[in-house]
Structure 1
Amino acid sequence: MRILLIADIHANYEALETVLEIPHDRVICLGDIVDYGPDPDKCIDLLRMKEIPVIRGNHDNAVAFKVDCQCGYKYKHLSIATREYTWEILDKSGMEYLQNLPLLIREEIDGKRLYLTHASPRSMFEYIKPETTDEEIQNMINEAMEPLEAEFLVVGHSHIPMNRKLGNLKIINPGSVGQPRDGDPRASCAIFDTENGKVEHLRLDYDIESVCTKIKERMPHPDELIAILRRGY
């Protein structure tokens, strides 16, 4: 089975539409549907229409419960400003949808056990990055929300694609659909093949000009938001 792994859409509808065109059998979203982008409602509607399982990310949590996103200082002012915009756009149904998203998903497919969560097994706010030490990750696992008991840990949050081994555990991050932060502005996602356990990371061009136009017309801090999209960080 080919599972399309997506994360960190951040209200970028054009990027979401594009990655969903990749041939797949199932899709799982690792969270952060909202903030930063112009179309939080359309992204939620598309995920709901396609019945895609979604994990609650820290930005989804901040919008849903009107709390701090605990994101990095560099982009926090943009998160706060665009959250006000997001609250204006979302209706009651959209807010309730975000409130009811789970913090983790477990899957066993073709004998492969997956533990999927937004950021780390311990918290929706912690980053697992390429430079995160094995010891730090092991501590997160030891203090996980639920025992890991899986061969594959699938996370988002960092917006940086990653495929990493820690002992017998394989850690996968598909990167960000709508807000890449690795210097490549193309939409990022991954295909996980449950038959052989292999991961294919993909980058796709999408209609970024359309997104930038909507940001300029509708949103606060448009020049900064557009520059981040174009740079990919």
Structure 2
Amino acid sequence: MKLAILADIHGNRQAFSACLAAARARGVERMVLLGDFVGYGADPEWVVDTVMELVEGGALAVQGNHDHAVGTPAESMNDDAQAAMQWTRGRLDVAQRRFLAGLPLTLADDDRLYVHAEASAPSRWRYVRDSADAARSIEATPALVGFCGHIHQPALYSMSAAAKMTRFVPAADLAVPLLPGRHWLAVLGSVGQPRDGNPAAAFAIYDTEQRSISYCRVPYDVEAAAERIRANGLPPWLADRLAMGR
């Protein structure tokens, strides 16, 4: 089965639509959504409704820190994120809020674990910045393959039986076999707000039969997404950064 793994959509309708279309065109059979459906972007209602429809159709979804912050304000967010979250709260209805609040922090499926941040303490929302962070997450679960987002920068980590770590960033659209005898952690880039210098939306495809992962980049109408942010009076930097991938 081909799984599309998408993280950090952040209310970006244009980017999410482009990624969903690209995934379906590549024969994906199931969607897996790793949280942060809201925050920053100007279309949280549409994104949450779309996620709800996907979950009703069999998709898997976990909660991100911005989704959690809809009901429980987070002190750790910067000023722009706080402003966007306050605006977002005013846009979501009761059903949308209830859906976000009810999402699990982790989901296990066969030999895979899905989480927004990292597996050792999902509710602490820690970033996987390096091999030490990845090792902590890998060691916290018996899953052979873990998937997470949160940092908005793609990377692929593995741990050998001797606890030796490797890290690299795969080229786009290159299938990487996840070799047996190692545990893996795939850190997804962001659909709605990439921060690796590439403004194209990011997601991944995991082939459960081939045990391979392909990191994908999808161009989308960045200016339309940015204009939506500006038109709704959200902090200008949230619009400007989309074109820079920062």
Cross-structure match for 1:57: 64
On the 8 A contact 1:65/1:99 being kept in 2, the answer is no
Residue 227 (structure 1) aligns with: 240
Under a length normalisation based on structure 1, what TM-score does the superposition of the two structures give? 0.88
1:191 aligns with 2:219: no
Q: What is the CA–CA distance in structure 2 between the aligned matches of 1:45 and 1:107, rounded to whole Å?
A: 24
CA distance in 1, matches of 2:156, 2:204: 10
Shift of 1:141: 4.5
Equivalent residue letter for 2:103: L
**Given that residues 134 and 185 in structure 2 are in contact (C-alpha distance below 8 angstroms), is that contact kept between their aligned partners in structure 1?**
no
Matched, 1:154 2:174: no
Aligned residues: 216
CA contact (8 A) 2:131 2:157 kept: no
Identical counterparts, % of pairs:
31
Cα deviation for residue 225 of structure 1 reads 1.2
Distance in 2 (CA, whole Å) between partners of 1:157 and 1:40 is 17
Contact 2:223/2:243, CA 8 A, preserved across alignment: no
* 2:184 counterpart SS class: strand
In the alignment, the residues of structure 1 paired with residue 208 and residue 190 of structure 2 have an alpha-carbon distance, to the nearest angstrom, of: 21
**d(CA) in 2 for partners of 1:188, 1:140:** 22
Aligned to 2:243, what secondary structure does the other structure show?
A: helix
Report deviation, 1:62.
0.9
Give 1:18-29 correspondences, 5 Å limit.
Answer: 18-21=18-21, 22-23=23-24, 24-29=28-33
Q: Which portions of structure 1, spanning 4 or more consecutive aligned residues, are displaced by more than 6 angstroms?
A: none
Partner Cα distance (1:137, 1:186) in 2:
25
Tell whether 2:216 aligns with 1:202.
Answer: yes
> Of the candidates 33, 41, 45, which is equivalent to residue 45 of structure 2?
41
Distance 1:32 1:213 in 2: 21
8 Å Cα contact 2:153/2:194 also seen in 1: yes
Question: Does 2:31 match 1:31?
Answer: no
What letter is aligned with 2:228?
K
* TM-score with structure 2 setting the length: 0.84
Superposition deviation, residue 140 in structure 1: 4.1
RMSD of aligned alpha carbons? 1.4
Query: 1:17: how far off?
Result: 0.8
Structure 1 residues 47-100: Cα deviation after superposition (integer angstroms, max 9, x where no partner)? 1112232111111111122333x35xxxx1111000111011111111111110
List gaps (5 residues or longer) in structure 2.
161-181
